């Protein structure tokens, strides 16, 4: 059903990782956590911005916590971007199935709306990726992973090279209290960079820690497979 979207969105755009963060009540635990990871921590004068910077594989990356830049995220959003310098031919994403299903329903509604003749450029870029990439599966990964997540990519080879068993295990082993399967989550390779976006639930440093581990592991796997 995405043929029309594919024609409009074939080239796509990289997601923004610098939307304005929300005001957070207490930065102490977050700043202490960042320091424990060897990351620099910055915030606006009024404490309204939270941004942490680090390196993975010698490449810079940034983690932000703040106001959602997507309407499917409620509360606060955790987002990350790694400037990996990967081959720009590679495109892949891991997305939780409830979010994928919701975006597909939105796309279908847009396509079948007779009052719309072109794709709305204000739509989330994630809908572009669903139009651009095919869902890919393979034997060997644990079956409950495929129940919770979908993997989409430009080629099967790229998907399998990036989403290795170690990354699968991290995605399936959140520490308690853990985000449930319904919590919006995605990690993406696009235009030489790696991105993470998720709803910050539960709002605990353990969520920060595990999301960071997933992201940096995804970056390391991508660097090993696709570095120029």
Per-residue pLDDT tens digits for 193-210? 999 999 999 999 999 999
Q: How far apart are CA 43 and CA 157, in angstroms?
A: 41
41, part of any domain: no
20, part of any domain: no
212, part of any domain: yes
SS3 state of residue 185: strand
Q: What is the CB-side half-sphere exposure of residue 177 using CA atoms within 13 A?
A: 7
Number of structural domains (the chain) is: 1
54, part of any domain: no
61, part of any domain: no
51, part of any domain: no
39, part of any domain: no
**Residue span of the structural domain in which 100 resides:** 3-13+81-226
Per-residue pLDDT tens digits for 60-105? 999 999 889 899 999 999 999 999 999 999 999 999 999 999 999 8
- What does each C-alpha distance from 136 to 2, 59, 149, 159, 196 come to in angstroms? 16, 28, 11, 7, 19
186, part of any domain: yes
- Record the tokens describing residue 112, joined without a space: 């079948």
Report the predicted TM-score, pTM, of the whole model to 2 decimal places: 0.82
């Amino acid at each position: 059903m995405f043929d029309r979207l594919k024609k409009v969105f074939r080239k796509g755009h990289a997601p923004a990782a610098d939307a304005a963060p929300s005001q957070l009540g207490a930065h102490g635990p977050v700043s202490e956590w960042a320091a424990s990871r060897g990351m620099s921590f910055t915030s606006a004068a009024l404490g309204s911005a939270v941004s942490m910077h680090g390196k993975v594989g010698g490449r810079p990356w940034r983690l932000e916590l703040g106001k959602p830049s997507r309407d499917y995220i409620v509360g606060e959003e955790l987002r990350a971007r790694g400037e990996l310098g990967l081959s720009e031919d590679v495109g892949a994403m891991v997305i939780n199935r409830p979010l994928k299903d919701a975006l597909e329903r939105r796309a279908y509604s847009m396509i079948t709306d007779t009052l719309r003749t072109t794709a709305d450029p204000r739509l989330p870029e994630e809908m572009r990726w669903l139009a651009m990439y095919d869902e890919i599966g393979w034997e060997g990964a644990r079956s409950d992973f495929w129940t919770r997540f979908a993997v989409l990519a430009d080629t099967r080879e790229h998907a399998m090279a990036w989403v290795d068993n170690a990354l699968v295990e991290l995605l399936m082993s959140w520490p308690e209290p853990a985000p449930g399967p319904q919590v919006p989550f995605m990690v993406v390779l696009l235009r030489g960079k790696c991105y993470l976006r998720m709803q910050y639930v539960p709002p605990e440093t353990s969520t920060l820690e595990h999301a960071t581990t997933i992201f940096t592991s995804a970056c390391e796997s991508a660097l090993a497979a696709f570095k120029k």
